[in-house]
Chains A and B, each alone.
Chain A
Amino acid sequence: MARFAQKNTTAFTPSQDTNYEHGYFSSTASYKHIAKPGLSKWVVEEISSMKDEPDWMHQLRLKAFEQYEHMQLPPWGADLSAIAFEDIHYYLKPTDAPSKSWDDVPPEVKATFDKLGIPEAERGVLAGVKAQYDSEVVYGSLKAAYAKDGVIFLSMDEGLAQYPDLVKEYFGKLIPSGDNTFAALNSAVWSGGSFVYIPKGVNVQLPLQTYFRINSPNAGQFERTLIIVDEGAKVHYVEGCTAPSFSSGSLHSAVVEIYVKAGARCQYTTIQNWYKNVYNLVTKRARVETEGEMIWTDFNMGSKVTMKYPSFILAGKGARGETLSMALAGEGQHQDTGSKAIHLAPYTSSTIVSKSISKNGGRTSYRGLVSVGPKAHHSQNSVICDALLLDPESRSDTYPVDKVFASDVAIQHEATVSKIGDEQLFYLMSRGVNEEAARKMIVHGFIGDLIKKLPLEYAVEMNRLIDHEMAGSIG
């Protein structure tokens, strides 16, 4: 499609269809433990003692809680004033320990993941699976061939128990608890998440996937993920998120730390489809060494508010970073997403592509930072943000910051905002395509480049979801 759409498009009324297919939930009666709502030092102690963890982790939690108590909500970005922090359950433990086999998973939990199609996906196209239900990972598997190569794929709690030295060396080093309010909160009450270690030179061809599911009302999910990709290794990690359609809000606040060693490659794909009552406030950061490569593929469709800016620190010569970000905001949603590229070493390059669609009064914001340090000569960066507005009530913002402290660099930023043009619709309709199909085609074309970067089954799913969102959008 043209970079700019034409004016004077016929108005069309998007449907008020709020059909959300993952909105069911199951009883929490069989849960092993549910923390009382609200956060206190006692809750932090409770979580720590139930997990029976090393003393350094216990101290880290207490320190983070102390920091959290003194921190404010960010004054910028989305409106977070409606979060009822005192109503949230900070720890919900559905089962005692992760199961190795689907047969051992409690029936109501299994039914949920069956509906989401996890077991089939595992058999066919994934190297390993983790399923997190509220605060804990309830199921985990890894194909034997990869386990033999030394690949570690555990829940963060198992990782801490089995590889305490490795975890201690990396945990909280890239995103310390004082980094921001939600990093402090996560560090204090974290539970679940993944611990991934790929040994030198191992190429994990199939994706590893973790599935995050919120099941309880007023749930707080604070997973903590640590991925270490050793020299020359390759991995693709995928996470998916859904939640039941409760009227009260839930809070999801994750921290993801990724270390990409020399010559390694890591792709991290997020398909975020929370129900529209979830506050999704996530900190994600990767450190990339010499000639390593980090790719964030970030798709945000659900949640009430998302604030998420996956970032990469290009710390080694020739390191490369890429972010592909797509946001879809409907009624009552605010997707405040973007990416940060920090160039610290020479000959580093990065690309950020962001596409956003606002409809039905939704709001999308791109917020990004490109910073090129004094030693990062011969570095390159390019940022492209395109926004599509589907009706007059919707809103789109772009807040980029480019900072350069070195010469011999090339930094570019481009952004456009437009709507679907009459001219484009006329072109397609004059060739016998009806208006609804034409609109879908244009939207698919708008985000097509990004969809292509997804694993096949997700690309199919994503196209289906967008069709579903667009269906009946002709008045």
Chain B
Amino acid sequence: MSAIQTTISESQSITVSKPGEYEYFLTKPGVEFTLSGSFHATGSERINIRITIHHQAPHTLAKTKLHGVVADSAFISFWGKIKIDPDCPDTNSFLTERILLLSPQAKAEAVPELEILTDDVKCSHAASISSIPESQLFYLMSRGVSRKEAEKLIVEGFLGVESSNQI
């Protein structure tokens, strides 16, 4: 599988919807870039996402957010890398990978990497893998929502999906 390479020379937002390998090059000073992706894996699906954010110019900003929900015996792997070349001062880059596990057979992998070759940066990444906290379910259930419905609401909120026509 070869990576889909995109050069980001003007500020923009991109949403990734298909699994695969993506590389983004921030080549122009002042560029601001937002990347997001939400994935829901069910059955025995296997979803692999590989993303590289490569800062090649000074004064750039990138925000990357990947959310995944894993049900049944599915598997999600998020691999993200922020790379900052030498002589790229005033670079800001943030990477977040969040995975929610819905079943005991669900599997997940999160690999957030950083390679920083310049010192004037603000850079961070965060990753989490967890099940739905019992306290959140309890909160909704104590308000008369069934467990199943509560789980559905939390998953929708997590993936940022607007629940259409309901309510």
The chain A residues found within 8 Å of chain B, CB to CB, are: 3-5, 7-9, 377, 387, 389-392, 394-419
CA distance in complex: A392, B86 (Å) = 8
A417-B114 contact given A402-B109, A407-B106, A408-B104, CB 8 Å threshold = yes
CB-defined contacts of A8 to chain B, threshold 8 Å: 90, 120
Contacts of A403 in B (CB 8 A): 107-109
Contact present for B112 and A395 (CB under 8 Å) = no
Q: Is B131 an interface residue (CB 8 A)?
A: yes
- 5 closest A-B pairs by beta carbon, nearest first, are A389-B119, A398-B114, A413-B127, A411-B129, A410-B130
Given contacts A390-B119, A407-B101, A409-B101, A398 and B113 within 8 Å (CB-CB): yes
Residue interface mask B100-134, A partner, CB < 8 A = 1: 01111111111111111111111111111111000
Chain A residues contacting B128 (CB-CB under 8 Å) are: 410-413
B120 cross-chain contacts in A, Cβ below 8 A: 7-9, 392, 419
Complex contacts, A401 vs chain B, CB 8 Å: 109-111
Give the Cβ gap from B49 to chain A, nearest Cβ, in Å: 14
Further 18 A-B residue pairs, CB within 8 A, beyond A404-B107, A415-B112: A7-B90, A389-B116, A392-B87, A395-B116, A397-B113, A397-B114, A398-B112, A399-B111, A399-B113, A400-B127, A401-B110, A402-B109, A403-B107, A410-B129, A413-B128, A414-B125, A417-B116, A418-B122
Query: Would you give the shortest CB distance from B52 to chain A, in whole angstroms?
Result: 13
Residues from chain A with a CB closer than 8 A to the CB of B111 are: 399-402
Main SS at interface, chain B = strand
Chain B interface bracket (under 10, 10 to 19, 20 to 34, 35 or more)? 35 or more
Q: Are B129 and A402 in contact (CB under 8 A)?
A: yes
A-chain residues with CB within 8 Å of residue B103 when the two chains form the complex: 407
| B81 CB, nearest partner CB in chain A, Å | 9
Q: A401–B87 Cα gap in the complex (Å)?
A: 28
- Please, which residue of chain A has its CB at the minimum distance from the CB of B120? A7
**A411 nearest CB neighbor, chain B only:** B129
When distances are taken between beta carbons in the complex, the residues of chain A under 8 Å from B131 are 407-410
Q: List 13 A-B contacts (CB under 8 A).
A: A8-B120, A395-B116, A398-B125, A400-B113, A401-B109, A402-B108, A402-B111, A402-B127, A409-B130, A411-B128, A412-B127, A413-B125, A417-B121
B130:A396 contact, CB within 8 angstroms: no
Smallest beta-carbon distance A27→chain B, Å: 44
In the bound complex, residues from chain B placing their C-beta under 8 Å from that of A400 are 111-113, 127
In the complex, what residues of A have CB within 8 A of residue B115's CB?
Answer: 395, 397
Within 8 A of A (CB), among B79-106: 86-87, 89-90, 99, 101-106
Chain B residue numbers with a CB within 8 Å of A4 are 122, 124
CA distance A5 to B119 in the complex (A): 11
Complex-state Cα separation, A305 to B45, whole angstroms? 42
A210 shortest CB reach to chain B, Å: 35
What distance in Å separates the Cβ of A383 from its nearest Cβ neighbour in chain B?
9
Task: Please give me the residue from chain A that is nearest to B118 by CB atom.
Answer: A392
Q: Which residue of the partner chain A has the closest CB to B78?
A: A402
Most chain A beta-carbon neighbours within 10 Å: one of B87, B90, B119: B119
**Complex Cα distance A392/B84, Å?**
12
Known: A398-B113, A401-B111. Contact between A377 and B127, CB under 8 A?
Answer: no
A404 to B117 CA separation, bound complex (whole angstroms)? 31
Which A residues lie within 8 Å of B108 (CB)? 402-404
| Contact residues of B between 38 and 74, Cβ < 8 Å to A | none
Give the CA-CA distance A402 to B122 in the complex, in Å.
23
Pair A413/B112 contact, Cβ less than 8 Å: yes
Least CB distance, B125 to chain A, in whole angstroms: 5
Bound CA–CA A409/B117 (angstroms): 34
Closest to B122 in A: A4
A394 with B101, Cβ < 8 A, contacts A7-B90, A400-B111 known: no
Who on chain B is nearest to A418 by CB?
B122
Taking CB atoms, residues of chain B closer than 8 Å to A9 are 120
Would you give the shortest CB distance from B66 to chain A, in whole angstroms? 13
Q: List A contacts of B127 (CB < 8 A).
A: 400, 402, 411-413
* Nearest neighbor of A392 in chain B, beta-carbon distance: B119
Establish whether residues A413 and B86, one from each chain, have CB atoms under 8 Å apart when the complex forms.
Answer: no
Smallest distance from the beta carbon of A366 to chain B beta carbons, Å?
A: 9
Inside 8 A of A3's CB, which chain B residues have their CB? Answer: 124
Q: CB-CB < 8 A to B129: which residues of A?
A: 402, 404, 409-411
Roughly how many angstroms separate A405 CA and B87 CA in the complex, as a whole number? 41
Query: Within the complex, what minimum Cβ distance (angstroms) separates B61 from chain A?
Result: 12
Q: Which of B89, B105, B116, B122 interacts with A396 by CB under 8 Å?
A: B116
A392 to chain B, nearest CB (A): 5
- Min CB distance B110 to A, Å, is 4
Q: Are A417 and B109 in contact (CB under 8 A)?
A: no
Q: What is the CB-to-nearest-CB distance from A74 to chain B, in angstroms, rounded to a whole number?
A: 17
Please, how many angstroms separate the alpha-carbon atoms of A409 and B122 in the complex? 30
Complex Cα–Cα for A365 and B127 (A): 18
Residues of A within 8 A of B113 (CB): 397-400
Q: Are B104 and A412 in contact (CB under 8 A)?
A: no
- Complex CA–CA separation, A226 to B26 (angstroms): 50
Complex CA–CA separation, A192 to B156 (angstroms): 59
Q: Which residues of A contact B112 (CB under 8 A)?
A: 398, 400, 413, 415
- What is the distance, in angstroms, from A238's C-beta to the closest C-beta of chain B? 32
Q: Check A397 against B116 for contact (C-beta < 8 Å).
A: yes
Nearest CB of B to A343, in Å: 12
